[in-house]
Chains A and B, each alone.
Chain A
Amino acid sequence: MNGSRHLWLWAGFLFLWTASVSGYQAANAVPSEKTLFEEMPVVEGAALHAQTLEEAPASVTIISANDIRKYGYRTLGEALASVRGVYVTYDRIYHYVGVAGFNIPGDYNTRFLVLLNGHPLTENIYNSNGFFGQDFGLDMDLVERIEFIRGPSSALYGSNGILATINIVTKSPVDQRRLRATMDAGSFGEKKVSLSTSVYLGKGANLLLSGSFFHNEGQDLYFPDFDSPDTNSGRANGVDGERGYHTFANLVWKDWSVTAYFNNREKHPPVPWGASVFPDTGGNVRDSRNFVAANYTRAIGAASQLRWQLSYDNYRYNDRFDYARLEDNGVDDIRTANWGDWLGSQLTYRVPLTAKIALTSGVQLDWELRNHQMGYRMSPEYEELSRVSKPDRSYALFEQLEWSLSHHWTASLGLRFDDSANFGHFLSPRTALVYQRSPKTVYKFVYGRPYRNPSTFERYYDDGGYSSQANPTLRPETAHTFEVSAERKLRHNLSALVDFYHYRVSNMIGVIQLPGAMQQYQNSGLDRSTGVEFELSGQLWRDLEATGSFALNSTRNITLQDELPNSPSHIGKLRISKSILKQKLTVASSTQYLGHRDTASGANTRPVLLEDITLTTRRLHPDFDIQFGIRNALNWRYQDPIYLAIDQMRQDGRAMFVRLIYRTRE
């Protein structure tokens, strides 16, 4: 027994000695020629890429700059419509993105987050992330990639991070051409010009500047619901136009990156809001979402990193809708003016505690200067109908622990505490386990308890009896989310994925119709969404690339035992692209199928089958390229469920566009 113990001791000593000697040898190894061939990872900081979430322990879809170019995505909404399980609805004012079957008419894109280089775009009136058309102030040419991260993110970002997080990463100034200009023209009077430049300012400072103007004339539309002699026989002519501008600037210098984002869009709504008149030739909606943010990132030691952000954001919203006055057959010119301004700051510090554990700690402060909502009658005589301002002050503390449990298992534990003057406090945990079974197969298990606070609009807005009534008792939504995904590389450049999810949302906030064409936001009971998604993607043959996905989903209100509106049970996607003519031309096809959807009134919309085709030249001429696209090539007639005076909106038929791209040579 004693001898055996000594044997073990000697074996242990021998092992340690061997390990120490081999470690020493490794440290002092004479360099072989393989040192010259060793692959080294590209250091993101070398391009000063903004914060990325790509390594998040979740099911992630990446839309690259190459995808955007090949498939001709001109808006963020078009790009997101290509993502597995996602669908986009348009009411001819705003686009609404559906995730996991949730896209309830009347909701303003409030259950997911959109970030621009890690900076949340959520505004402080409607808590909306709903900028997916030309109201999104960044031209798609500037996008390096879009990260679509499924699952909860309240443990990192607080309110609204229930279903997904969409992070848009812009191109670094050092990656941009000295000069790039594009000119677009398309069906329905679409026109857009954009110009971007990247300049070296000296002392290592690089500046990217971009701006664009757009003017879309829109269509003359017919609405059978308004087909009467008093309402122009249901015809809305010349009231679908849209115009505005985008500007973006990014300055990088040493450890600093300063971003400025200013834009404005005015849209004419062809359909009335509530009981407003039809056709409303004077009606318009104007949005402006702007921010300036400074980021400081510094590596401390070999593996720690400090990151500090300071930002000023603002949001402006103005609308005008005319309402019929019964007593003298005149109209009341009713307007809304919202001003939101806020300051924010976030400090995060990432430090490896041991070789296997890394901790990220953070603190965030948000200080709303104002979130002012004003409703007023402009004519026949000026009268203020409502004035609401409830600026919030909030802070949050968060921690995230990444723990390599073994060679195969990694855990990610996150916890965030939010405290707000208006909405109280909330604790959001998230747990993710990643099981890397082999280099080819990975399983992910994610649980989270995210939440969303009611928006100031949902809780406080009241326009004195025209359309909306306040509800100061509105409570936050909370959710339990479960997600399991399995990804497997079938062969080089071909991978398959299965993703199962189950979301339970309590106190879901929804709009309720009150007598007299009034509306109010109220908490409903329990809603749940259960679904499974499949995806196969890769290079099928030479440079023929394809991605196909299919999603099955059931989203129900448990309390009412009813399917939720605008929630298709089947979503199919297929994207194929191929380079031809010695890589000089890329042909891309994108097909989307949506099963039928219910409208808010219980009607049923027809399934949707959309086929988009895009042809893009690649260096056909050293300075110029050209892109041509057909959207809805099958001319499929379909309607989207919406929430305006009608509950479904007919969408565009076949449309075409052409784009001329000029850029300087490197």
Chain B
Amino acid sequence: MVRSEYMVQRILFPALLWCGSALSAVEPGRITVVYSSEAQPYMEALDGLRYALPNSHFAAVDLHSSNFRAQLANSVEASSNGLIVTIGRDALEAVGARKGDMPLLATMIMQSELAGKQHVTEAVRLDIPLAGILGELRAMFPHKNRVAVLRNPALPGQVDAAAVSRARQQGFAVQVIDAAGPEESLRVLRYLKGRADFAVCLPDSALYNSATVKALILASLESQLPIVGFSQSFVRAGAAIGVYPDFRDIGLQTGEIAQKHLAGQAATPVDGPRKLVVGVNPRVMRLLGLEYREGGDVVTVR
């Protein structure tokens, strides 16, 4: 009896597994995933995607591999009636021109990048609506409701009237203040001293980058005004709080949409991140005298 169990566990079962995987390997992959290995968040999304999709349906092509074009062409050719998934803007740009008629699911992308991309059939964007950020703040700081949002006038779509109206419905006193450049954002922060409980900074590479962040953080500390940033790096640099997407969950979400697509079920054309990470910088929180309600997905960033 023991011997037969051994035979099943050690020989027969692995043999069946091997046969199954060998057979499935012969079948063409139905989803071609194009990704860039240059940034860790893309790899996290790819990891989530791998988790959501069975290997047999999956062929991943790195944008930075030496024979990217040939690999992409082979994979697309072998995936008739399949789907292309792109992770990030560069992948979308690289695939966009030569995808043919195959449906395209773009993920890890900002809403503004989707403008004019008719060939994108579905998308998972990274933008977090203001309501989402404020919801997290409400959970952590139930008694603080004065929020200032810094907006670059060159990017008017960042915060619209509907978003402000919704924030007011959530019980927040919201001020949207234009800051056309880094110097102006410093002036705004100083102006907001005592007038707001938080300054929300939305993704903007012109206002917030490695050259401008130092002055901004120091102004925030001087004004005792916590910055709510948009990335883990921003929080590590000195923003008190950051609200940003969980990149692995975006991969999972994308995988689920891809499965629906292949099954012929309807999916939302453009979906936002469903899981957010709230990062806090404990040093800065203490310097600003902020005590928050712990729990949920709040992570400490040092």
Contact = CB atoms under 8 A, between A and B. Distances in A.
A624 to B, nearest CB: 22
Contact of A36 (B41, B112, B286, B287): B41
Interface stretch (B211-219, B251-259, B261-269): B211-219
B39 A174 contact: no
Interface stretch (B50-58, B138-146, B200-208): B200-208
Given A45-B218, A46-B281, A174-B283, A38 B205 contact: yes
B181 A27 contact: yes
B233 A47 contact: no
Interface string A13-53: 00000000000001111111111111111110111100000
A255 to B, nearest CB: 6
Contacts of A252: 287
B40 A41 contact: no
Given A46-B217, A303-B215, A38 B231 contact: yes
Contacts of A298: 222
Interface stretch (B17-25, B65-73, B164-172, B236-244): B236-244
Contact of B237 (A30, A46, A202): A46
B296 interface: no
Interface string B129-166: 00000000000000000000000101100000000000
A205 interface: yes
Contacts of A43: 213-214, 217-218, 237-238
A47 B238 CA distance: 8
Interface string B105-122: 000111011000000000
Given A31-B204, A38-B233, A41-B210, 5 more contacts: A36-B231, A37-B233, A40-B209, A43-B214, A299-B222
A174 B280 CA distance: 14
B233 A205 contact: no
Counting chain B residues whose Cβ lies within 8 A of the other chain, the interface size class is 35 or more
A33 B109 contact: yes
A175 interface: yes
B88 interface: yes
B182 interface: yes
Interface string A632-666: 00000000000000000000000000000000001
Given A29-B205, A31-B204, A302-B186, A39 B210 contact: yes
Nearest to B89: A32
Interface of A: 26-43, 45-48, 172-175, 200, 202-206, 252, 254-255, 298-299, 301-303, 666
Contacts, number: 138
* Of A42, A46, A172, A303, most B-chain CB atoms within 10 Å: A46
B65 to A, nearest CB: 20
A254 B222 contact: yes
Nearest to A27: B206
B213 A48 contact: no
Contacts of B100: none
Contacts of A200: 286, 289
B63 interface: no
Contacts of B221: 45-46, 254
Contacts of B83: none
B210 A33 contact: no
A637 to B, nearest CB: 46
A33 B238 CA distance: 20
Nearest to B289: A204
B155 A40 contact: no
Contacts of B102: none
Nearest to A31: B203
Nearest to A36: B231
23 contacts: A27-B154, A29-B205, A30-B112, A31-B110, A31-B203, A32-B110, A33-B110, A35-B204, A39-B210, A39-B233, A40-B210, A43-B237, A45-B221, A46-B221, A46-B238, A46-B281, A46-B284, A47-B283, A48-B287, A203-B289, A301-B186, A302-B212, A666-B282
A29 B155 CA distance: 9
Given A46-B284, A204-B288, A255-B222, A41 B214 contact: yes
B73 to A, nearest CB: 26
A174 B302 CA distance: 12
Contacts of A27: 154, 181, 206
A381 B300 CA distance: 68
Interface string B223-249: 010000011011011100000110000
A581 to B, nearest CB: 24
Given A33-B109, A36-B203, A299 B219 contact: yes
A204 B287 contact: yes
A29 B212 CA distance: 15
B183 interface: yes
B126 interface: yes
Nearest to B223: A254
A37 B231 contact: yes
Contact of A35 (B230, B236, B238, B286): B230
Contacts of A28: 152, 154-155, 206
Interface string B269-302: 0000000000001111011110000000000100
B154 A45 contact: no
Contacts of A46: 217, 221, 237-238, 281, 283-284, 287
Contacts of A36: 41, 126, 203, 230-231, 244-245
A48 B110 CA distance: 35
A393 B300 CA distance: 50
A29 B287 contact: no
A45 B284 CA distance: 10
A272 to B, nearest CB: 52
Contact of A45 (B233, B238, B289): B238
Contacts of A303: 215
A152 B231 CA distance: 42
A215 to B, nearest CB: 35
A91 to B, nearest CB: 42
Interface in B16-61: 39-41
Contacts of A255: 222
B88 A40 contact: no
Contacts of A42: 236-238
Nearest to B284: A46
A266 B224 CA distance: 45
Given A32-B113, A46-B238, A299-B218, A37 B206 contact: no
* Of A38, A39, A40, most B-chain CB atoms within 10 Å: A40
B155 A30 contact: yes
A36 B234 CA distance: 8
B286 A33 contact: no
* Of A34, A35, A36, most B-chain CB atoms within 10 Å: A36
Contacts of A38: 205, 209-210, 231, 233
Contacts of B288: 204
A26 B221 CA distance: 28
B283 A172 contact: yes
A47 B301 CA distance: 13
Nearest to A30: B112
A31 B155 contact: yes
A29 B183 CA distance: 17
A124 to B, nearest CB: 35
Contacts of B113: 30, 32-33
A301 to B, nearest CB: 8
Contacts of A40: 208-210, 213, 231, 233-234, 236-237
A37 B204 CA distance: 12
B126 A33 contact: yes
Given A46-B221, A46-B287, A174-B287, A34 B237 contact: no
Contacts of A172: 283
A369 B40 CA distance: 60
A9 B173 CA distance: 55
A32 B91 CA distance: 13
A200 B286 CA distance: 7
